[in-house]
């Protein structure tokens, strides 16, 4: 999607403060503790020169650590021309609440580098990333026990590999150096399943919401993802993987919007084939069987679930009254403004909030971090033991019954979990448990008005318990 939202006058951080205040009314925590939780603890603004082409450019960059109630702090680094201090602060605050909701024991942080990655060569990106990392090192804003970045909009495995390499060069004796950043390539200490984690988490979250029969009845739907219509904004890492898992789960993706336009097909779009088309042509447009439509009009199509998976402020006071879906599944951070939310709530649209729904990324980052500081791959110890146990059980059953298992049955029972199995299983468990925690808060009888407020209430209550040592809670 475009680097600039179409509603730039909104302060993203103010929206987050509004959500916080709305939730705080339902929480019995001393005012001073709420004040401590609410604001950003440390915000670092950096400017550094980098040689771009034959010129030197001053790069503006940030790292905001919102909350140190748990360490390290955690959150991605965004590379975009839309980066500014307000945005980075807002995103760091969302990280704090996100981690609390999914029980990931980190405070929230976020970084931003104001560049357009599409206009930079790989060498220039590397220079910028390494310099940014060394600036963070100088001010103690990175480290396995301090603050652990990850990918975000405009960054991925490649950038994370440069970051860990820079960090390890500065700290050759740091045994946990790999834990200074997550989202790394598997060959550099990454974990299998991290790349698709946010999209897979979005899928698990939406699937869980659509599994509650009484809620579906209220939305005028039958339970289950199969056959439901989806519109997705953004076909980057999160958008693509959300599409992939929704499609595999039987959902019908009728439209996908990107920065250069949107495509529509009432019979559904196959995301894997679309990905191949984009790799070949450089754009999702002109994908066989689809018609091209306006990228903003796509959001206003009638559908069951709208998944904004790009940037913040995409559904705002200008287009909120034209949104016609039943559910908005916030795969991006902050795609709906507070103003828009009022309109959408009145229309009865159910919003599954970002601080729950896109937490799959940081959840698997947490697994990667655990792998890095424990220096062992998940599944290494137990896989073959579990396989032997399955084999033994099968042979006992065969002896007792006199029947031989088919090869399909054998494969099912004799299989030990590898790293990817464990990551998917841990992510699925996390998303299902967290969904019901926030849904229960919504239906607790306290009068919490919507699922976002319920998610904030859940998060703030958990964070507040970290201040028990101050003696404020008996």
- Contacts with ligand GLU, residue ranges (CB under 6 A): 74-76, 150, 152, 182, 333, 358, 361-362, 365
Closest to 220 measured CA to CA, from 232, 207, 210: 210
The answer to whether 261 and 293 are in contact (CB under 8 A) is yes
On whether the CB atoms of residues 64 and 43 are closer than 8 A, the answer is yes
CB-wise, 216 or 331, nearer to ligand GLU?
A: 331
Query: Which member of 110, 114, 326, 383 is catalytic?
Result: 110
Whichever of 66 and 228 has its CB closer to ligand GLU, that residue is 66
**End-to-end CA distance of the chain, in Å?**
49
**Please, what is the minimum distance in Å from the beta carbon of residue 360 to ligand GLU?**
8
What is the closest distance, in whole angstroms, from the C-beta atom of residue 346 to ligand GLU in the complex?
29
Between strands 55-65 and 42-52, the pairing is antiparallel
Q: CB under 8 Å to 239, separation ≥6 — which residues?
A: 199, 232, 233, 256, 307, 309, 310, 331
Contact 438, 458 (CB under 8 A): yes
User: Rounded to the nearest whole angstrom, what is the least distance from the CB of residue 223 to ligand GLU in the complex?
Assistant: 28
- Least distance (Å) between residue 81 CB and ligand GLU: 18
Torsion region of 75: left, alpha or beta (phi above 0 gives left; psi -120 to 50 gives alpha): left
Nearer to ligand GLU, 75 or 179 (CB): 75
What is the number of other CB atoms lying within 10 angstroms of the CB of residue 269?
A: 22
DSSP characters for 454-470? HHHHHHHHHHHGGGGGG
461 among known catalytic residues: no
User: In this structure, are residues 228 and 249 in contact, taking their beta carbons and an 8 Å threshold?
Assistant: no
Q: Which is nearer to ligand GLU, 111 or 271 (CB)?
A: 111
82 and 4 Cβ atoms separated by less than 8 Å: yes
Locate tokens 């760091």: which residue? 92
Q: How far is the CB of 363 from ligand GLU (least distance, A)?
A: 8
Cβ atoms within 10 Å, residue 100 = 31
Specify whether the CB–CB gap between 224 and 246 falls below 8 A: no
What does the block give as tokens for 184?
């790394």
Smallest distance, Å, CB 107 to ligand GLU?
Answer: 11
- Assess contact for 330 and 289: CB atoms under 8 A: no
44: helix, strand or coil: strand
Q: Which spans in 56-149 are helix H?
A: 85-101, 122-138
DSSP assignment string, 214-225: HHHHHTT--SSS
Instruction: Pick the closer one to ligand GLU by CB: 156 or 268.
Output: 156
Q: Give residue number: closest CB to ligand GLU.
A: 76
96's tokens:
């704090």
Closest distance between ligand GLU and the C-beta of residue 33, in Å? 25
For ligand GLU, the closer of residues 133 and 365 by Cβ is 365
Which of 176, 292 has the CB closer to ligand GLU? Answer: 176
Minimum Å gap between C-beta 258 and ligand GLU is 20
* Cα-Cα-Cα-Cα dihedral sign, residues 377, 379, 380, 381: positive
Spatial distance between the Cα atoms of 122 and 441, rounded to a whole number of angstroms = 46
Nearest residue (CB) to ligand GLU, 158 versus 410: 158
What is the helix (H) or strand (E) element at residue 395, kind and residue range? helix 383-401
**How would you label 440-459 residue by residue, b for 16+ Cβ within 10 Å and e otherwise?**
ebbeeeeebebbbbbbbbbb
Q: How far is the CB of 115 from ligand GLU (least distance, A)?
A: 17
Cβ neighbours for 283, distance < 8 A, ≥ 6 positions apart: 258, 260, 261
Q: Which is nearer to ligand GLU, 150 or 423 (CB)?
A: 150
Active-site residue set: 110
């Amino acid at each position: 999607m475009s680097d600039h939202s179409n509603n730039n006058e909104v302060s993203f951080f103010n929206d987050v403060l509004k959500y916080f205040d709305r939730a705080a009314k339902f929480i019995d925590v001393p005012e001073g503790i709420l004040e401590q939780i609410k604001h950003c603890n440390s915000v670092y603004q950096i400017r550094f020169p980098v040689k771009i082409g034959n010129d030197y450019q001053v790069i503006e960059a940030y790292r905001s650590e919102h909350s140190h109630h748990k360490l390290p702090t955690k959150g991605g680094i965004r590379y975009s021309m839309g980066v500014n201090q307000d945005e980075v602060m807002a995103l760091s605050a969302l990280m704090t609440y996100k981690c609390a909701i999914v029980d990931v024991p980190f405070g929230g942080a976020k970084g931003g580098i104001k560049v357009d990655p599409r206009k930079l060569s790989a060498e220039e990106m590397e220079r910028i990333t390494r310099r940014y990392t060394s600036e963070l090192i100088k001010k103690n804003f990175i480290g396995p026990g301090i603050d652990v970045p990850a990918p975000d909009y405009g960054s991925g495995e490649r950038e994370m590999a440069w970051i860990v390499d820079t960090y390890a060069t500065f700290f050759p004796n740091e045994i946990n150096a790999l834990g200074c950043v997550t989202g790394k390539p598997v060959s550099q200490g990454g974990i299998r399943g991290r790349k698709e984690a946010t999209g897979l988490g979005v899928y698990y979250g939406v699937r869980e919401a659509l599994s509650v029969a009484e809620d579906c009845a209220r939305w005028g739907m039958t339970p289950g993802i199969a056959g439901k219509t989806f519109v997705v904004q953004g076909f980057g890492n999160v958008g693509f993987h959300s599409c992939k898992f929704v499609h595999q789960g039987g959902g019908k993706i009728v439209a996908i919007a990107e920065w250069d336009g949107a495509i529509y097909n009432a019979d559904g779009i196959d995301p894997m084939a679309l990905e191949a088309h984009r790799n070949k042509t450089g754009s999702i447009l002109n994908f066989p069987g689809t018609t091209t439509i306006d990228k903003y009009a796509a959001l206003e199509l009638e559908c069951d679930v709208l998944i904004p998976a790009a940037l913040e402020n995409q559904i705002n006071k200008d287009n909120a009254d034209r949104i016609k879906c039943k559910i908005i599944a916030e795969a991006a951070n902050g795609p709906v403004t507070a103003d828009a939310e009022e309109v959408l709530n009145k229309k009865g649209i159910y919003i599954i909030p970002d601080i729950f729904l896109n937490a799959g990324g940081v959840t698997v980052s947490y697994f990667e971090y655990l792998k890095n500081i424990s220096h062992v791959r998940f599944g290494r110890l137990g896989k073959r033991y579990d396989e032997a146990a399955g084999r033994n059980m099968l042979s006992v059953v065969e002896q007792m019954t006199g029947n031989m298992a088919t090869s399909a049955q054998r494969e099912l029972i004799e299989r030990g979990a590898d790293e990817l199995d464990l990551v998917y299983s841990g992510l699925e468990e996390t998303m299902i448990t967290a969904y019901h925690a926030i849904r229960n808060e919504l239906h607790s009888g306290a009068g919490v008005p919507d699922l976002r407020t319920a998610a904030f209430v859940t998060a703030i209550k958990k964070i507040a318990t970290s201040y028990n040592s101050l003696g404020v809670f008996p």
